[in-house]
Structure 1
Amino acid sequence: MHILCLNGWGGKLHDQLLPYLHSAAPDILCLQEVVHTPDTQSDWLTYRDGDHILPQRARLYDEVRAALPDHWAMFCPAAQGELWDGDTPVLSQWGLATLVSPALTVIGQVQGFVHKDFSPQGYGAHPRSRMAHGVRVYDHRAERVVNVLHMHGLRDLAGKHDTPERRAQAERFAQMASGLAGAGEALVLCGDFNVGRGSETLDILRALGLRELVTEHGYAGTRTHHYRKPERFADYMLVNRPVVKFEVIERPAVSDHCALSLVL
Structure 2
Amino acid sequence: MRIMCLNGWGGKLHDSLVAYVAEASPDVLCLQEVVHTPASAEAWLEYRDGDHILPQRANFFRDVAAALPDHAATFCPAAQGVLWDGEEVVPSQWGLATFVRNSFPVIGQIQAFVHKGFSPDGYGDHPRSRNAHAVRVHDYARDRAVAVVHTHGLRDVAAGKSDTPERIEQARRLAEIAVRIADDGDRLVVCGDFNVEPESETFQILAGIGLTDLVTTRGFTSTRTAHYGKPGRFADYMLVDGLTEPVSFEVVRDPVVSDHCPLVLEI
Shorter chain as normaliser: what TM range?
over 0.9
Aligned match of 1:246: 249
- Asked whether the 8 Å contact 1:5–1:191 carries over to 2, the reply is yes
Post-superposition Cα deviations, 1:32-88, rounded to whole Å, max 9, x if no partner, equal 000000001111000000111100000000000000011001000000001000011
> What is the identity, as a one-letter code, of the residue corresponding to 2:259?
D
Aligned match of 1:210: 211
Aligned match of 1:49: 49
> What is the identity, as a one-letter code, of the residue corresponding to 2:41?
Q
Q: Distance in 1 between matches of 2:231 and 2:161?
A: 12
2:259 pairs with 1:262: no
- Offset of residue 120 of structure 1: 0.6
Q: Distance in 1 between matches of 2:179 and 2:147?
A: 10
- Helix, strand or coil: the match of 1:157? coil
Q: Distance in 2 between matches of 1:106 and 1:125?
A: 35
- Asked whether the 8 Å contact 1:8–1:34 carries over to 2, the reply is yes
Unaligned runs of 5+ in 2: none
Q: Distance in 2 between matches of 1:50 and 1:205?
A: 35
- Offset of residue 211 of structure 1: 1.1
- Offset of residue 184 of structure 1: 2.4
Unaligned runs of 5+ in 1: none
Superposition pairs of residues 112-261 of structure 1, within 5 angstroms: 112-158=112-158, 159-240=160-241, 241-261=244-264
- Offset of residue 142 of structure 1: 1.2
Q: Distance in 2 between matches of 1:81 and 1:26?
A: 30
- Offset of residue 183 of structure 1: 1.4
Moved more, 252-261 or 197-206: 197-206
- Offset of residue 223 of structure 1: 0.1
- Asked whether the 8 Å contact 1:206–1:238 carries over to 2, the reply is no
CA RMSD of aligned residues (A): 0.6
> What is the identity, as a one-letter code, of the residue corresponding to 2:253?
E
Aligned pair count reads 264
- Helix, strand or coil: the match of 1:122? coil
- Asked whether the 8 Å contact 1:104–1:137 carries over to 2, the reply is yes
- Helix, strand or coil: the match of 2:105? strand
- Helix, strand or coil: the match of 1:104? coil
Aligned match of 2:20: 20
- Asked whether the 8 Å contact 1:213–1:238 carries over to 2, the reply is yes
- Offset of residue 176 of structure 1: 0.6
Query: With structure 2 as the length reference, what TM-score do the two structures score?
Result: 0.98
Runs of 4+ residues deviating >4 angstroms: none
- Helix, strand or coil: the match of 1:128? coil
Query: With structure 1 as the length reference, what TM-score do the two structures score?
Result: 0.99
Q: Distance in 1 between matches of 2:254 and 2:207?
A: 28
